Amino acid sequence: MKDNFRHHGLRQQLVDHLVEKGITDKNVLAAILKIPRHFFLEKAFVEFAYQDLAFPIGSDQTISQPYTVAFQSQLLQISPHDKVLEIGTGSGYQTAVLLELKANVFTIERQKELYEKTKNFLPKLGYQAMFVYGDGYKGLPSFAPFDKIIVTAGAKEMPNDLLRQLKVGGIMVIPIGDSKSQKMKLIIRKSNKEFTTQTLGDFSFVPMLPKKT
């Protein structure tokens, strides 16, 4: 597949649209301008890659809408070398954005097929992350604590294991709600025991798959 000036032009239009919708983080916008989102989609949807829409990526899952990716990424306020835990690798597009922001990314996917596919695909584009096949509800205790945690599937409730794995001063973004609609929650760990939570608008993610026992 090619990435040519036409794709670049479409990405610029997408970036302009994201700015109109309120995204201001220059590094996030630069990442979206750079990453060939059409490489992350199945053939049937490649033509629509730069519309602000979610698309199926197989295994009943979707690649998040660019606005949602930009919104979550902006909330994380990534600094270079931040240790970031991502739940829901999916197509790897959000992972690529985090990597463009120079984060150190640990990403967990619960579906074997998607895990295999993205683990093989992202390094071909030059993106290196730590790919984990596992249950996002449990996080990655052996690599904790994390500076930032991002959940890209809708959770029914706050996963306590993930809160525990957040550094003091760290930020977590997670959509919480039912299978149709969720509220974006921004959590900051103020101290060992103290967390603040802000609620930031409605989103529609695929549901986070139940906890494996």
Q: Which stretch binds ligand SAH (CB under 6 A): 9-17, 59-67, 181-189, 196-204?
A: 59-67
Closer residue to ligand SAH, CB minimum distance, 113 or 168: 113
| C-alpha to C-alpha distance for 33 and 155, rounded to whole angstroms | 29
Tell me, residue by residue from 73 to 92, as one string, x for binding to ligand SAH by CB under 6 A and - for no binding: --------------xx-xx-
Closer residue to ligand SAH, CB minimum distance, 7 or 117: 117
The reply to whether 146 sits near ligand SAH by the rule CB under 6 A is no
Closer residue to ligand SAH, CB minimum distance, 70 or 206: 206
Q: Phi/psi of residue 106, each to 5°?
A: -115, 120
Closer residue to ligand SAH, CB minimum distance, 36 or 88: 88
Within 8 A by CB and 6+ apart from 67, the residues are: 18, 21, 23, 52
Tell me, residue by residue from 178 to 197, as one string, x for binding to ligand SAH by CB under 6 A and - for no binding: --------------------
User: Crossing angle, helix 26-34 and helix 93-100, to 10 degrees?
Assistant: 130
Among 71, 93, 131, 203, binds ligand SAH (CB under 6 A): 93
Residue 63 buriedness (CB in 10 A; 0-12 / 13-18 / 19+): buried
Cβ atoms of residues 15 and 33 within 8 Å: yes
Among 31, 114, 140, 184, binds ligand SAH (CB under 6 A): 114
| C-alpha to C-alpha distance for 153 and 151, rounded to whole angstroms | 6
Q: Which stretch binds ligand SAH (CB under 6 A): 9-17, 25-33, 119-127, 204-212?
A: 204-212
Cβ atoms of residues 165 and 145 within 8 Å: yes
Q: Which stretch binds ligand SAH (CB under 6 A): 27-35, 119-127, 184-192, 201-209?
A: 201-209
Question: Which of the residues 64, 73, 142, 204 is marked catalytic?
Answer: 64
83 bridge partner residues: 104
Mark whether 64 is an active-site residue: yes
| C-alpha to C-alpha distance for 88 and 164, rounded to whole angstroms | 19
Which residues participate in catalysis according to the annotation?
A: 64
